[in-house]
Amino acid sequence: MKNMKYKNYDLYELPPIRDLKDMLMQKKKTKPDAKAFTFAKGKNVIARTYGELADDVCALGTWLMAQGYQGKHIAVIGENSYEWITVFFAAAGSGNVAVPIDRELPAGEIAGLLDKADVQTVFCSKSYREPVDEAVDIIRNNIRNDIRNDIQVLGMADIPDYIHDGAQMLEAGNSSFMDYEADRKQLCCIMFTSGTSGKSKGVMLSHENIAEDINNSCRIFRLEGNTVAVLPFHHAFGLVVATFMVLNYGYTIHINRSLKTIQRDLKEVRPQTLFVVPLFVETFHKQIWMNVRKEGKEKLLRRMMWISDLLLKAGIDVRKRLFASVREAFGGDIEYIISGGAAIDTGYVKEFRSFGIEVLNGYGTTECSPGVALNRNFYHKDGTVGVMVPGTDIRISEQGEVLLKGPIVMQGYYNDPASTGEALVDGWYHTGDLGFVDEDGFLTLTGRCKNLIILSNGENISPEELEADFRRYEEVREVLVYEQDGIITAEIYPEEEYLTGGNKGTYAQEHFDMICREVNKKRPLYKQVGKVCLRGSEFEKNTSRKILRNNRKEEAQ
């Protein structure tokens, strides 16, 4: 049996929240002086307590309502920041609809999303003002709609002034924001998907959707320390799970504004838990072993891991002391890494466990607010994405597709009844993911319906399964498996040392052909890869760093 720790146990309990505003008010009452956010400003680190966060949101929400903002669609575009979060809370809490948009998109795509979501106002940071202004000009020049043509752009740099004005209104007796209570079924935000194929769709999430995902995710995983926010806030995982869930537990989030400072932030903040996508785990893993090899201590570290694992089986845990230097790369106090957004190889999970860091894989989709399943603190099984979030029903179709129903399932896609009708059937959300639930209640994903390779003999092959086998080799940086001319092909982007110097050309091809033969030994004949081709550049990806399968460039060497 794959690794499972302990037995299932009672769910954790926190006071339930009605919506995001209720969550803030609860925290202002119970933890007013605790730090909610810290962030760098120049050479200084600024802190905002839960009391200050709630006051700022209430002031900004009051200002919005005084300016006539209610029932409006308000976009937020910019790098992760305290102001970004404040705008989202204030917009959603004042009867408006928040629309997070990926800041890295080109102006043309931003224009398309602003138009698709019927956005009337944009809050953007100074760094991204130019593409936003260009996007608004595109809309004004190409779309004949009086409502959408009049898009107002407000700078996040001015938010302190709006908060100041709103605070004065509150002092003068304006209680419009404080008194407003949204219907839980009311639309809270439109979050765009970032799929690996097709155009982005606007997922409609209600106040209930988000609140119930926070409530129930907190019941299966217990947070006991601070975090560093490294995932973008426009991404549902980065916003709802990695930020709102942490706030619901009452801990501190340090906002990382740039990946260039991630190592510094980790050492200064010393987080207990990190919420990341697998790419971060893989990068951390490679850096650890790269440093070990430079010091000539690879054999020593592997022997230490073997001894530590042996002692752990005997109930003796010396990992924190034995691997203090490895853990220091994460700040020294790291206990958990929550990984979501894509599958993660169990080899990484086992190695990090040897260092005393538990990597808990989870599963989510924007259409489900987004958390669906997660391995628990003391009840987890390698190779799975965990147990279901309470209150969510799961069913596996005859074709093996994962179907979901419950209060976390979206209302539909904004202004897209056709796509909504395909995704939601009799209340069940058709995820497009293939998987199964085992006897212990753990969900395992095996691939995507649309990615299946269907051979002429009728056999179905999940390319993700084969890709996972190739990724276990450190020489493989990226890989994509597909069918071409009746042959299962693995297209590989190798690590840098296999692209330059003496390893280039024939030798490199022979090396990866050898890897292919090793992979095939573990597979039945119909699942074996028939061809390996190498490429000299990475695959095209979306902003969540997932390979765009339908946009694969023909650059194989």
φ/ψ bin of 415: left (φ > 0), alpha (ψ from -120 to 50), beta (otherwise): left
Strands (E) across 334-427 are located at: 336-339, 358-364, 371-374, 387-388, 393-396, 401-405, 412-413, 424-425
What domains are defined for the chain?
Answer: 20-182 (3.40.50.12780), 259-449 (3.40.50.12780), 452-551 (3.30.300.30)
| Model pLDDT for residues 310-323, shown as the tens digit of each residue | 999 999 999 999 99
DSSP for 457-480, written as a single string: TS-EE-HHHHHHHHHTSTTEEEEE
| Model pLDDT for residues 196-249, shown as the tens digit of each residue | 445 789 999 999 999 999 999 999 999 999 999 999 999 999 999 999 999 999
Question: What's the pTM value of the predicted model, to 2 decimals?
Answer: 0.86
HEC secondary structure over 14-65: CCCCCCHHHHHHHHHHHCCCCEEEEEEECCEEEEEEHHHHHHHHHHHHHHHH
The answer to whether the CB of 112 falls within 8 A of the CB of 102 is no
What is the pLDDT at residue 363? Answer: 96
**Distance (Å) of CA 453 to CA 135, 325, 450, 468, 489:** 39, 44, 9, 16, 11
- Residue 227 burial by CB count (10 A; 0-12/13-18/19+): exposed, middle or buried? buried
Question: Which amino acid is located at 414 in the chain?
Answer: Y
CB-based contacts of 372, cutoff 8 Å, min separation 6: 362, 363, 364, 365, 385, 388, 389, 392, 404, 408, 443
- Residue 534 burial by CB count (10 A; 0-12/13-18/19+): exposed, middle or buried? buried
pLDDT of the chain, 557 residues: tens digit per residue: 345 556 899 999 999 999 999 999 999 999 999 999 999 988 899 999 999 999 999 999 999 999 999 999 999 999 999 999 999 999 999 999 999 999 989 999 999 999 999 999 999 999 999 999 999 999 988 754 554 557 999 999 999 999 999 999 999 999 999 999 999 999 999 999 865 445 789 999 999 999 999 999 999 999 999 999 999 999 999 999 999 999 999 999 999 988 888 989 999 999 999 999 988 898 888 889 988 989 999 999 999 999 999 999 999 999 999 999 999 989 999 999 999 988 888 889 999 999 999 999 999 999 999 999 999 999 999 999 999 999 999 999 998 999 999 999 999 999 999 999 999 999 999 999 999 999 999 999 988 888 878 766 566 788 888 888 888 888 888 899 988 887 889 999 998 777 654 445 556 888 899 999 999 988 888 788 989 999 888 888 776 667 877 655 343 33
Cis upstream peptide for 370 (omega within 30°): yes
Q: DSSP assignment, residue 499?
A: T
What is the pLDDT at residue 554? Answer: 41
